[in-house]
Amino acid sequence: MADETRNDAPEQEDIAEYIGTEENRGKGLILPGEARPRRMYVIPVSNRPFFPAQVQPVMVNQDPWQETLKRVGDTDHHMLGICYVEDPDPERNIPGSDELETMGCAVRVHHAQEDSGKVQFIAQGLARFRITQWLRRKPPYLVEVEYPEEPEEPADELKAYTLAIISAIKELLRSNPLYGEDVKQYLSRFGPDDSSPLADFGASMTSAPGRDLQDVLDTVPLLRRMEKVLVLMRKEQEVARLQAEINEEVNDKVQKHQREFFLREQLKVIQRELGMAKDDKTADIERVQARMDKLKPNEDVQAKFEEELQKLQVLEQGSPEYGVTRNYLDWITQVPWGITSEDHFDLAHAREVLDKEHDGLNDVKDRIVEFLAEGTFKGEISGSILLLVGPPGVGKTSIGRSIADALGREFYRFSLGGMRDEAEIKGHRRTYIGAMPGKFVQALKDAKVSNPVIMLDEIDKIGSSFQGDPASALLETLDPEQNREFLDHYLDVRLDLSKVLFICTANQLDTIPRPLLDRMDTIRLSGYITEEKLAIAKHHLLPRLLRRAGLLKKQLNITDAALRQVIEGYARESGVRNLEKQLHKIIRKGIVKLLENPDRPVRVGVSDLEGYLGQLAFRKEKALKGVGVVTGLAWTAMGGATLSIEASRIHSNQRGFKLTGQLGDVMKESADIAYSYVSSNLKRLKGDPAFFDKSFVHLHVPEGATPKDGPSAGVTMATALLSIARKEAPAQNIAMTGELTLTGQVLPVGGIREKVIAARRQKITTLILPDANRGDYDELPEYLKSGLTVHFAKQYGDVYQVVFGNKPKKGASVH
C-alpha cells in the first residue's frame, strides 16, 4: 500500500504535526476547544465505545499496543484515538482496520503503567473524530481524522432536553450512588448547561449494548443525539427500578431471617442462663430417657438402651454417628415394651360386632366365635394364626378388622403383595444408610401396645428375589414356638410377638409355601349367593355409598327388584366389590338427574337399569340339553362355577378320542380315565360294547379361552361319553362333581361350598357329590342346602342310576 510506505519512515515528523503548540506542553487535563491533531494513532476497544465526556481507566494488551502508547507518549499532547469494534473475530488476535468503527473518540493519555502483560492508562475524552484516511493499517494504527461540527439547535428545545437528561441523571444517582464519582469528574470539566458533553455523559452512565452506544457516538446533531440518550436512560431507569425492588425484597427476607435467628439465639442463651432450657444433646438424652421410664423393658433391652445412651453422651452433634445413635434410641423407646391392652372376652359382644358388619358367612362367624371362646376359656388369645382364604371381595380384610373390634385391640394392616425384600420383615442392619426396623416393629410403634391385631394381607402374593425370601423370614414371626424371641436386625434385641394376634388373607393356597401354611389355622370364605348379596347391598353397600355422596335415602331409591337384577345381570362374581362399583355408577348418574331437577327424587327400577349400566353383562344362561351334554361343578380362585361338558361322535371310520377346551394335564388324565372306564364297561352300562371300537369321539369343555384344570370332572366326562354311547340324553337340571378311577370308584374333591353356591346361582336343584364329601355338605349352613336334592355316589353305578333312571346290569364286572 502506498500510504503505508509513505508514512512508515517519517513518523516523528508526522507526530510533530499533531497539536504541538507551546502553550499545551506539560499541562495536565486538556480542556475542550483546544487545538486537535489531524493525524492520530488509534487503538480498538471491544466492550463499549468511549465518549468525549468520560474520564476512565483503559487497559490493553502490551502486545501489540505498547508500541502505540509509547509513540503517543513521545508527543507533546499525548493524544490517542479510541475506536469501537463490535464482535471482533476470535480467530484474529488483532482486529483488522476494517473492523474499527469510523467514528471514534479522541482522548488524552495520562499515567500509563505496565503490569503483567497489560498496559493501563487514564483516558480523558475530548472530542469526536471521524476517520478520513488510513495512513498505517498495521499496529501501531495511524489515521487521518476530521472533527465534525455540531449544527445550531433551537435554544428552547435544547434547554428542555438538557433538563430532562439532568433529571434522569438525578434519578439514576438515587438508585445507584456509585454514579456519584462519575458525576464529580464530569462537573470538574463541564457545567450542567453544557448540552453536548451532558448528552455524552448521560449515554456513558447507561449499561446499554455497545451497538446502541456507538449509534449515539455516531450522531452529531445534538437534539437527535439527546433523544437517543433519553431513550437509553429511560430503559436504565426501569432496570434500576426493578433491581431496587428485587434488592429490597431480598433484603427484607434476609433481615427477617437474621432477626429471627438472633432472637432465637438470644432466647436460648437467656433460657440456659435461667435454667429453663438445655442444649440439643441434653434435650435428646432427656427425651429418650423419659420415654423409656414409662415402659417396662426386660434386662437385655434396658442394657442395650443404656449402652447406646452412653455412646450418645460422648458423641459430637456434628458427627454422622450421632444421628444414627439418636435414631436408634428413638426407635427402641417407641416400641411398647411390656405395654398391653386388655382383651374384651364377651362372646355376645363379639357376635354382635360380626353380625353388624357382615351379612351371611354364618359358618365363618361361628368359627371366629369358637376361636374367641377358646381364648376366653384360657384367659388369653395367643398361639394361633388365622388364615382367611376366599375369592376377592368377600370381606376378608373387614372380618379381620371386626375381630380386632370384638376383642377391643388395636388393628394394624399391611400388604405382603409383591414384597421381595426380607428386610421389610426383619429390618435392616444399622450398617446401611437409611436403615429402618421391619414392619412388625413399625406396627407395634403405631399400635402403642404389644398385643395388637396385625393383618398380613395378600400373603399368597409374597415374592422372593436376590434380596432374600420374605416368606421364609415370616416363619420365625408366625411360629408360636419361635416368635417369643423374634430378632429384628435393626433393634438387635429380642422382641416378644407371642401376644400379637396375626390374621392373614389369601385368594388361594397354592402359592403359599407349605412350611408357612402349616403354621396357620385356615378359615375358608366362599362366595355369596344372591340373597346374601342382596342383604349386603341393602344394609351396607348402598347406605355407605349414599353417605359418601351426601345423599338422603329419599332422594335416591333403588328397588329390591332392581338390586337383584344388578346382582344377577351385572355383578355375578363371588364377592361384592364389583357390585359396589355398579351401585356407585347408578348413584353418579342419579346425582346428575338430581342436579337437573332437584325437586324430583330419583327412583331406579328394573326397567331403568339399562340406561344406568348399559346392556346386561350376564344374561340368563340357557341350560344345554341333549345327548352327550352334562353339567359339571368346578372351583376357581374367583369362586365356584358351572361347567358344561359336551361329547360327540364325529364319524365311524376308525377309533379315536379328541380333547379341546384348553385343559390342564390333570383334566386330560381324568378324560382318558373316563374314556377307558366307559369303553370297558359299556355292556354293563347298557350301551353298545362295540360303540367306541368304530367311533371317533370329540370331548369338549366350552369357553376354550379359559384354562381349566383339576381332579373333579371325571364323573362328568364319563357321563357325557356314556350318553353318546347309549344315544340317550341324561336327566335335566342335574350337576355333578367327583373324580373317577379306572375301577369306577368316585373319589372326594374340594370346594364343595363354592360348587353348591355355583349350582344355586344357576338354579340347579339336583346335585351328585362324592360320598366321601358327605361331611363337607352336612357342615354347610341350612340356607345353602335348602331346596336342593343331593345324591352321594361311592362308585359310578350310583351316578348312572341318578342320571339315566335305572341301575346298571348285574353280573358283568364294572371294571
Reply yes or no on whether 712 is catalytic.
yes
Q: Mark out the alpha helices in 501-604 (DSSP H runs).
A: 514-517, 530-536, 542-549, 560-569, 577-596
Reduced 3-state DSSP string for 400-462: HHHHHHHHCCCEEEEECCCCCCCHHHHCCCCCCCCCCCCHHHHHHHHHCCCCCEEEEECHHHC
| DSSP of 634-699 | EEETTEEEEEEEEEEEEESSS-EEEEES-B-HHHHHHHHHHHHHHHHTTTTTTS-TTTGGG-EEEE
Backbone φ, ψ for residue 798 (5° rounding): -65, -40
| Helix, coil or strand: residue 370 | helix
Distances 260 to 249, 254, 256, 586 between C-alpha atoms, Å: 17, 10, 6, 57
User: Of 53, 32, 54, 29, nearest to 110 (Cα)?
Assistant: 29
Q: Which residues pair with 789 in a beta bridge?
A: 766
**Percentages of the chain per state (helix, strand, coil), in multiples of 5:** 45, 20, 35
- List the beta strands (DSSP E) in 74-163: 79-84, 103-115, 118-136, 141-146
| Helix, coil or strand: residue 190 | coil
| DSSP of 263-300 | HHHHHHHHHHHTTS---HHHHHHHHHHHHHHTS---HH
| Helix, coil or strand: residue 586 | helix
Q: How far apart are CA 575 and CA 639, in angstroms?
A: 9
Annotated catalytic residue: which of 170, 712, 794, 809?
A: 712
| Burial class of 62 by CB neighbour count within 10 A (0 to 12, 13 to 18, 19+) | middle
CA pseudo-torsion sign 761, 763, 765, 771? negative
Residue 463 and residue 470 in contact, taking contact as beta carbons nearer than 8 Å: yes
Q: How far apart are CA 488 and CA 427, in angstroms?
A: 6
Annotated catalytic residue: which of 498, 755, 763, 786?
A: 755
Length of the chain: 815
Backbone φ, ψ for residue 560 (5° rounding): -65, -40
Q: How far apart are CA 183 and CA 170, in angstroms?
A: 10
Catalytically active residues, by annotation: 712, 755
